[in-house]
Amino acid sequence: MVKNRKIFPLRSGTRQDCPLSPLLFSITLEILESVISQEKDIKSIQIGNKEVKLSLFADDKILYIENPEDSTRTLLESISKYSIVSGYKINVQKSIAFLYSNNEGVRKRSGKNNSFCNSTKIINYLGINLTKHVKNLYNENYKTQLKEIEEDTKIFHVLGLEEST
């Protein structure tokens, strides 16, 4: 780039606490989302009558892929290409692969073919515990939240902050 006839290098990034940072991050992440969504070799899952590949919220992403043995390789290639252009990097230590499959062979092969930490029981996404079995979602989320609310209510009562009639 040139400013006042002086050349300066263009780098990615924004200043710390810049109010535009989250917006700019979201805009650039839309490009990655578009690449992944349009990639035919990354097989999405079917929820109702909709195909779903990923959910994004700020820097939290969750990908829903069918046939992970084939889709993971293509997914990682797409992310790698995007990283070269954008400077975006995935923190593999913070990334978790969570395979919904009862097929032990698929589970073992999938774990060997990706560089992510593999979770076998529960993962937390945006405060929701995702479990291997749908039947466990109620106990892992609703019951836990209800217990926390009841504990908070007891504290409010002790402090005299309960609702007056």
Task: Determine contact, residues 120/100, Cβ cutoff 8 Å.
Answer: no
Residues 108 and 143 in one domain: no
pTM of the model: 0.63
- Residue 101 resides in a domain: yes
The C-alpha atoms of residue 150 and residue 42 are separated, in whole angstroms, by 43
The number of distinct structural domains making up the chain is: 2
Reading the chain (165 residues) residue by residue, the pLDDT tens digits are: 556 777 767 666 677 788 888 888 888 888 888 888 888 888 888 888 888 888 888 778 888 887 777 788 888 888 888 888 888 887 777 777 777 665 666 666 665 655 555 666 788 888 888 887 778 888 889 988 899 899 988 888 888 776 665
Do both 33 and 95 map to the same domain?
yes
Q: Is residue 94 in some structural domain?
A: yes
User: Are 151 and 84 within one domain?
Assistant: no
Residues 39 and 62: beta-carbon distance below 8 Å: no
Tokens 């106990």 sit on residue? 139
Instruction: Domain of residue 159: give its range.
Output: 133-165
Q: Where are the alpha helices (DSSP H) in 39-117?
A: 68-86, 104-112
> 118 and 138: one domain?
no
- 114 and 143 fall within a common domain: no
Whether 152 and 77 share a structural domain = no
32, 99: one domain: yes
Asked if residue 81 belongs to a domain, the reply is yes
Task: For residue 7, tell me if it sits in a domain.
Answer: no
**Are 55 and 62 a contacting pair, CB within 8 Å?**
yes
Is residue 112 located within the same domain as residue 50? yes
In a domain, 4, yes or no: no
b/e burial code for range 80-116 (CB count within 10 A of at least 16 → b): eebeeeeeeeeeeeeeebbbeeeeeeeeeebeeebeb
Residue 13 belongs to some domain of the structure: no
Same domain? For 27 and 70 the reply is yes
User: Any idea what DSSP says for residue 92?
Assistant: G
Do 146 and 87 lie in a common domain? no
